[in-house]
Amino acid sequence: MMNDHIRFDADQDALLLLDQRYLPLREEWFACRNTDDVIYALQTMVVRGAPAIGVTAAFGCYLASREVRGKTDWRIALKELLELIRTARPTAVNLRWAVERMEALWRANEVVELDHLASLWLDEAKRMQLEDEAINRAMGRHGAELLSDGDRVMTHCNAGALATAGFGTAVGVIYAAVEQGKRISVVANETRPFLQGARLTAYELHRSGVEVTVACDNATGLLMKKGLVDKVVVGADRIAANGDVANKIGTYSVALLAKAHGVPFYVAAPMSTFDLDCPDGAHIPIEERPAREVTHPTGESQITPLGVQVYNFAFDVTPAELVAGIVTEKGVLRPPYTEAIQRMFGK
């Protein structure tokens, strides 16, 4: 399993990201040396996946603190840069969570000098990176109990190591089941238009020796009807207080088809992905991405007629009633989710 795709290089004083835009055909690294680099990486999908976005944002806060050195009003300038990072993408709540964690550390050390704050933030970002992989492994252990020997598991989008600091959320559940000796095969939905399933999930699983088959998104119903899918496990970019789940566009359709065919639909996500301030899915902001991702799927030739408009919503919301269980580092939550989520957070 991958865990070196997000790494801080002290010699360069830069965050190095494996550029996911070019996988699986080639492996290139993108260096973030300032706030603009971090925001570009987040918005253009150099890095994606809610936990990975959070870790990247944490290192981005450190880079922002280096960027304001020498400014007499560095506190004001730094707050402005943090706000830019916080709002770089709207749907994944981990982005806001990471920045707020750094801000809390700043408030607790308000009198420190900038260089000391930068050091604290760099240590905290590294700690968050290690924590995330540990959390994913804990989720994997809990979620693996939901999978049986011989299961064929469908995934949608990429919720593997590349979407996190390491191991993965939904794919981490699969890895953990395999480590337990279970024979698990995976159906990776291609996940249009950015093809995270075909490019990234298949890349990870194949590299790790897990049997994987890529399927067109619109084959989901047929595959379930043929009995080729036993379970569905997906990740999440935000989970509302009532258990509604925002994930990559198309997830809602997969959940509806799973319900119709009696296939259990599970979500795997860390506690940092829950937004208790968001009452339900209707309040989750849904990002719209550039039309070019749809009109130029290979990045070169346009496949749609000139002048035709495009819908490119990046996420959709799956209602809680379609979710059989939510796997977290604390265990598997079951309906009713409002009460289960409150208990998990000790509310």
Do the beta carbons of residue 123 and residue 156 sit within 8 Å? no
Query: CA-to-CA distance for 19 and 234, rounded, in angstroms?
Result: 22
Looking at 109-169, list the stretches that DSSP marks H as alpha helix, in order from N- to C-terminal side. 114-144
For 116, the token pair is: 């000391």
Do the beta carbons of residue 62 and residue 118 sit within 8 Å? yes
Residues 6+ positions from 173 with CB-CB distance below 8 Å:
139, 140, 143, 144, 146, 147, 233, 266, 268, 327
Residue set of the binding site:
48-50, 89, 196, 247-248
User: What b-and-e string marks burial along 273-311, b requiring 16 or more CB atoms within 10 Å of the CB?
Assistant: bbbeebeebeebeebebeeebbbebeeeeeeeeeeeeee
Strand 245-248 relative to strand 315-318, pairing:
antiparallel
Based on the residue annotation, tell me whether 149 is a catalytic residue of this protein. no
Catalytic one of 230, 237, 275, 316: 237
SS3 of residue 99 by DSSP? helix
CB count in 10 Å sphere of residue 171: 34
From start to end of the chain, where are the E strands? 6-9, 14-18, 29-32, 152-156, 185-189, 212-215, 231-234, 238-240, 245-248, 265-268, 274-275, 315-318, 325-328, 331-333
Query: CA-to-CA distance for 2 and 197, rounded, in angstroms?
Result: 16
Query: CA-to-CA distance for 300 and 267, rounded, in angstroms?
Result: 35
Of 341, 314, 36, the C-alpha closest to 157 is 314
Rounded to the nearest 5 degrees, what angle is found at the Cα of 124, between the Cα atoms of 119 and 128?
155
Residue set of the binding site for substrate:
48-50, 89, 196, 247-248
Q: What is the distance of C-alpha 268 from the center of its chain?
A: 10
Q: What residues does 180 pair with on adjacent strands?
A: none
Catalytic residue IDs: 237
